[in-house]
Structure formats: C-alpha cells, structure tokens
Amino acid sequence: MTPSIHDIPELAIRQLQDYRNVNPGTCFADPDFSLDVETAYHLQDAVTALRLSDGETVIGYKVGCTGPGTTAQFGMNGPIRGTLFADEVRQNGAAVDPGQFCQLAVEAEMAIKIGPDGTIAAAFPIIELHNFVFRAEKKTLAELIGNNGINAGIVLPDPEWQRSTSFISQAGELALHVNDVELDCGKLWPKADGPEASLNWLRNHLDGFDRSPEPGQIILAGTNLGLYPVQPRDRVVVVLDGQPEVRCTIGPSSP
C-alpha cells in the first residue's frame, strides 16, 4: 500500500490512536506499506491537527537526525522536523513513567528559544524522551517523520537556564550520564555554524508548509550524541561542561 494525500486523514486517525495506546506506527509494520518523505510530513501535520482539535498546544519543533550519533545509529541522513507539544513537557527532576512510552530512550540535546524578533533568545540543555521503535524492516526517513521524529516529550532545565544566552555562541561539551556513568559526550551543536544552522534549516523547511518558528517557541537543535534505552529506576542526567544541569528518574511502569 502506498498512501496518497487523500488517504492521510484516515491514516492520521490510526496513527494518533496507536500513539495514545503506546503502540506507535503500526502501519509501518506492513511490508507492503510505503510512504515518501513529502507524504510523511503531511501525515505528521494531520496528526498534529487532530491533537490541536483535541485541545493540545504546539510549543515548538525538533530538528533531528543531524549529528553523527543519530545518523550512524539510524543509518540515515536528515535533517528532519518533528513537532513538540505542551502536554509532553516535564520539569527538571521529573519522575518519568516508562509505561507511558514504547521502548523509552533518552537523548542529551541543546534547545533554543525564539525571541520576539525571531532570533535566538536563549540556549539550554534538555533531555529528549523517545518511543525508540522502528517497525519497517529497514529504517527510513519517512517512518521517522511519520512518527514525529519518534519524539514523545522533553525534560526542561530550571527556569533560569531557559533564559540563558551564554551558550548561544560559547563552545562547550554536552554529556549524558545514566546511573552516574557517562554514556556519551560531544560538542553542543551538530553543525559547525552552531544553532543558527538548525534554525535556518527549520525556517526554510517550514516555509514550504506556510509556517515559521514563532516567538517563545522551543526548538530542539539536534545533537552529536546518540539515543540510549533506559530502564525503571535509572537516573538520567545531562551534564554541560562538567556541571549536571537537567535530570530525571525513570520510575516503575504503571500497572
């Protein structure tokens, strides 16, 4: 099956139902199912429209599959875009229920906030939460995009960090620690031009959908690090230049 643009509304209903049932992207398990990148973005946006009609709120976007960690892990070259929702934001120190995710994995990443004039107003570390599942025999950008970049939430740092301008242009090192063990580390930004490179790509991309990043929105700018599965009772910390800045604990699964 190769869905056309006319099949998207019905497919979006199935995608959203699967997502809410913690069983995302089941359509991609069908070996005859095929989706191109353009149609995958229309599918992502149709699911977003359903979520908005249910009262959810978009707070920004992610730029994914950009750094060496994820491109090697997925075997694909991006960038791709995903959409962030307010209901899936958690605050620093949160207890994350793995039962709300399908194969929960975490990623250390830098985010930026868009200022009133459309430029970068702040830069800060976050923990990205993922449903780390691909159902097709071979991973594709279309499946990644159709499943919203496999994003399922973020953990934000303390409020003062969310206003920081220090690392917009300042170099640094980002690391992911789980249970006091460093699993990965690397430069802050996946592109040599820093966060502007990710923001400029997103602007150009969204222009094709008659949208643009809006003031106050959060943009995940991509990362040099990979994704790491986590288990109940794991302690996850994102460390910036040797200082622990964002943390969460993985709680026991819901019954």
Which tokens hold the place of 1?
Answer: 């099956």
pTM of the model: 0.93
**Predicted local confidence at residue 193, as pLDDT:** 87
pLDDT band at 192 (very low <50, low <70, confident <90, very high): confident
**Section 192-206 average pLDDT:** 93
Q: What pLDDT, in 10s, does the model give residues 14-28? A: 999 999 999 999 999
Say if residue 90 is exposed, middle or buried (CB neighbours under 10 Å; 0-12, 13-18, 19+). middle
Using the 8-state DSSP alphabet, how is residue 253 labeled?
P
Beta bridge partners of 246: 238
Q: Domain locations in the chain?
A: 58-250
211 confidence band (pLDDT: 50, 70, 90): very high
State pLDDT tens for residues 128-168.
999 999 999 988 999 999 999 999 999 999 999 999 999 99
**Domain spanning 58-250, CATH class:** alpha beta
User: pLDDT-derived band of residue 74, with 50, 70 and 90 as boundaries?
Assistant: low
* Burial of 89: CB neighbours in 10 Å, binned 0-12, 13-18, 19+: middle
Q: What is the predicted pLDDT for the residue at 254?
A: 60
d(CA 240, CA 200): 24
pLDDT of residue 94: 97
